[in-house]
Amino acid sequence: MLENTLEDWRNRALTYENELNATIIGLAPAIRSLVIAIFARGHVLLEGNVGVGKTTLLRAAARGLGGGYQRIEGTIDLMPQDLIYHTYIDQDGKPRVDPGPILGQGENLSVFFFNEINRARPQVHSLLLRVMAERSVTAFNREYYFPHLLVFADRNAVEKEETFELPGAARDRFLMELEINPANTSSVHKSLTFDTRFHDTDKLIEQVTAGNVGFDALTPFAPVIQNSVTAGDAVQDFVEHLRRATHRPQDYGIQLSEVDMDELMIAGMGPRGTSMLVRAAKVSAWLDGRLELAPQDVAAVFHQVVAHRVFFTPIYELQRNWLAKAYTQAILHSVPTT
């Protein structure tokens, strides 16, 4: 019976992935990573240029997931309380306090979408960190819980004025950071330019079956994937070597052009990072129809899960845009799988 349940859910997940690929073309690798994160019950941060489909992808993913959906725009004047409540004068001229976007859907809140998160102040990031880490918040002298909550966020990577970079602790709460970069093929760009169905975003998103995944059913099912996919000794050793390599690349003979490897690292990924790496890898294996973890499953999600969890010395931190990917790729090429 368990095998049937796993297969039924896998078919549901693949249908969900196919619908997203039909809605947002040219982003298949990012969509696979997003589906992995959702079924691993992890928060996701998207980064990319303006107008590449970040918001459309997250809205479409939220529609397929179902449940309560809230969105907030990152602005420089946004304050933490704006997420919890808002005040106004009603039609009778009396002051009112109503629940804000986090509280508005109660326990049915499935997706909280924070658009352009780096435009919000650090105080807002701190509150969001609590919500992401504990899926709860204290307000009006009581505790509110959000058992099904996933935080989707995107970051404006182009404009730097009036923006606030996320601190490492906040970024570490995201299971994945995904770069959204459409496939650079003429056919994709011609379709996006001339096919009118891509010009109406609202209609486009409606092509995704609403609530097909079932947000409330996914919450208890996600641990079933983790308990069903096994990891042998060889894979466990592989993950441990990857962890060590993020801290001490010199020990694995890792070299990068024009980089002093002895001066590169402040810290590599910690226990939470390795745990999340395995969580994501198990979902990747399950989506491919296997219940035994293999090194290729870990490699498939390594950059997305690990790149934002390694910390470079200040001189190299300024070069993170290219360095993080080069570093994770070098680790995978240098660490033996057996």
Average pLDDT across each block of 10 residues of the chain; the chain has 338 residues. List them in order: 90 96 90 97 89 85 94 90 87 86 92 91 90 91 94 80 78 92 76 74 89 95 97 96 94 91 92 96 98 97 95 91 93 88
Query: Residue 40's pLDDT is what?
Result: 98
Q: Which residue has the tokens 């894979």?
A: 235
Domains and CATH numbers, the chain: 2-221 (3.40.50.300), 229-334 (1.10.8.80)
Nearest to 225 by CA among 287, 270, 267: 287
Amino acid at 313: T
Nearest to 308 by CA among 267, 263, 254: 267
What residues are paired with 145 via a beta bridge?
A: 136
Query: Residue 306's pLDDT is what?
Result: 96
**List of residues 6+ apart from 134 with CB closer than 8 A:** none
Look at the pTM and tell me if it is higher than 0.75. yes
Query: Residue 237's pLDDT is what?
Result: 96
Query: Residue 19's pLDDT is what?
Result: 95
Query: Residue 161's pLDDT is what?
Result: 67
